[in-house]
Amino acid sequence: MILLRSVVGKLWFTILLLVSFVLFILTVMLLEFFQNNNIIETKNALTKTAEKIANVLEVHHDQFSLGLEISWEMLDKDANVVIIKDKNKVYYSPNSKNKRILTIADIRNDKALSKVLSFNSQVNKVTTLSADIPGNGDTSYSIIGVPFTLSTGSKGAVFIYQSLEAMQQTTQSTTRFILLAAGVAIILTTIFAFFLSTRITAPLRKMREAAFEVARGKFDTKVPILSHDEIGELATAFNQMGRQLKFNMNALSQEKEQLASILSSMADGVITFNRDGTILISNPPADRFLQYWYYEKGDYGLNTEAIPSKVMELFQLAVDTEKEQIGEISLQGRHWVILVSPLYSNQFIRGAVAVVRDMTEERKLDKLRQDFIANVSHELRTPISMLQGYSEAIVDDIAETQEDKREMAKIIYDESLRMGRLVNELLDLARMEATQIQLSHEEVNLTVFINRIIRKFQGPAKDNEIYLEAKIPDKDVSLLFDPDRIEQVLTNLIDNAFRHTPKGGSVRLNIAFDDKGTTMEVTDTGSGIPEEDLPFVFERFYKADKARTRGRAGTGLGLAIAKNIIEAHHGHISVQSKLNHGTTFSFFLPRK
């Protein structure tokens, strides 16, 4: 079965079947021809022999015995003769002894044979003669009857007959010869068919192997050109196809790499959707946009089915109307403008592409321009007003007692210190933003460093009934950073967490390590930060709603200073928060 499925087997079977059919027809025709020809030639030979014997008997009518002897010499060993001189004299050939013989009774009883004597006509007949020897059975004979006339006027006849078995033996010999020749022809045909099919299929097998190599990505595979016929041309075309395919694949790979580089380097996010809304391609800015969405919905995994509903609305509108759609979405205090355009393939829409642009910085700058003067004026107006009011009270002798004067002077002193702190923090922030901050890196044992900071806040934590905890995975790790500056950052973050966490809440400091660096997180269970305020928490003069703060309010510069300190360490700081669910400030310090 395997052989018949191959090209070699099919060619061999086809050629063998064709040659066998031709040989069968030819054998049948040849056998029929030789058999008929043999019978005809035998009959003609018998007829000529009979005519010669009749002629000899007519010539030697006066020496009839001599004519008989000559006649017997003219016979073949397989032929038998019956000579009827007259009604009473019948002569049989000597070789008729112990064989099936034709008797005078057989001749007279046979209508066709009797015509030779009655009508002096020649007869040719095939008949069955009984065996002279019992047990030999009946045999078919070909009988030729030829009349002759003697000079005395008497009429006789020569009957020559021969068994058909001799003719059949000749036919069988011929048949065996023809069948032998046919067998030799079939064997030679099989050898020729295998040789021809091998010559044809050997290049095809090489092309099949080369095709599998090309399918595995080896486009340099070449097929040897063994001939200059159609198969050779096919091998040439295959090699040209491989070269062209390699060129096209390289071009596609280059275009794909170029497209990937362009998408990766774009500042705007790009999301490509299939017709059914499935995400096909997204670049890093788009992934960050989706991460904000997952965090907003409480899905911290990459659930690609949870595409923002606003984006899906724009996608559906773009597909239905075949027009660009523009929308805006806000997540975790960040703002994005989304442009969705339909994608076409052969004039049919096969999906859409969404361009997501982060407009947070632009919105922040707009808000900062609006709020900066108001914030500075507000921060300076309060202490200046208090300084002016209490100074006028002292000058106007409104304070009647010395104790009142000391209290007013104390307030004036505190407000001047507050103004000094504000001015110093503004100067520090200005120096940091001007990259003039000087860091003093030291090898710091992190456990000792964190425990010192936690001990500093144990008193306020106990007073405010807040649970304070720090988790350090490795107790013996040492890091290289500026301890004073990092302590300033952690102090500011923990202090902010205390002021926004109610009684019974908790503040946790978690530290994690990886190959890239160290991550520190300050997590509280406080009131959280409104979504609209999240983009501005690291800006100057940002302060949470005082209705949600406990104790004294800050200057609004602490987080801005913390951000500059972390960036000076080549790290980054971020915030995640949900209203009434708490806030997490985290910063990352890269490994030196």
Backbone conformation region of residue 436, classed left if phi is above 0, alpha if psi is from -120 to 50, else beta: alpha
The whole-angstrom separation of Cα 527 and Cα 549 is: 9
Instruction: Return all residues near 296 (Cβ < 8 A) that are at least 6 apart.
Output: 331, 332
Which residue has 């070449």 as its token pair?
A: 222
Q: How many CB atoms lie within 10 A of CB 391?
A: 13
- The amino acid present at 217, given as its one-letter code, is G
The whole-angstrom separation of Cα 464 and Cα 466 is: 6
The whole-angstrom separation of Cα 535 and Cα 577 is: 11
**Which residue, among 134, 127, 89, has the nearest Cα to 110 in the 3D structure?**
127
Torsion of CA 369, 374, 380, 382, to 10 degrees: -160
Digitized pLDDT (tens) for each residue of the chain, 592 residues in all:
555 566 666 777 777 788 788 878 887 887 778 777 777 888 888 888 888 888 888 887 777 788 888 888 888 777 888 888 877 788 888 876 656 577 777 787 788 888 887 777 888 877 777 655 444 556 777 888 888 887 777 788 888 888 777 667 777 787 788 788 878 887 887 787 777 767 777 777 788 788 888 888 787 778 877 767 777 788 888 888 888 888 888 888 888 888 888 878 887 888 888 888 888 888 888 888 888 777 766 654 444 445 677 788 888 888 888 888 888 888 777 788 888 888 887 778 888 888 888 888 887 777 766 655 555 665 666 677 777 877 877 777 776 777 877 887 887 887 787 677 667 666 666 666 555 567 788 899 999 999 988 888 888 888 888 999 999 887 788 889 988 889 888 988 998 899 889 888 999 999 998 888 999 999 999 888 888 888 878 876 666 554 444 444 556 677 888 888 898 888 999 999 888 888 999 999 998 6
DSSP state of 57: H
Contacts 24+ apart (CB under 8 A), 233-241: 234/203, 234/207, 235/203, 235/206, 235/207, 238/207, 238/210, 238/211
The whole-angstrom separation of Cα 565 and Cα 438 is: 10
Is the Cβ–Cβ distance between 296 and 332 less than 8 Å? Answer: yes
Per DSSP, what are the bridge partners of residue 282?
271
Q: How far is CA 543 from CA 80, 360, 552, 553, 581, in A?
A: 145, 19, 12, 8, 19
Q: How far is CA 579 from CA 62, 228, 503, 533, 583, in A?
A: 156, 81, 17, 11, 8
**Which residue, among 86, 87, 89, 78, has the nearest Cα to 161 in the 3D structure?**
78
Angle between helices 360-395 and 402-433 (to 10 degrees): 150
Token pair of 580, please? 């009434």
Q: Is the pTM above the cut of 0.75?
A: no
The number of angstroms, rounded, from the C-alpha of 35 to the middle of its chain's C-alpha atoms is 68
Token pair of 191, please? 């050898």
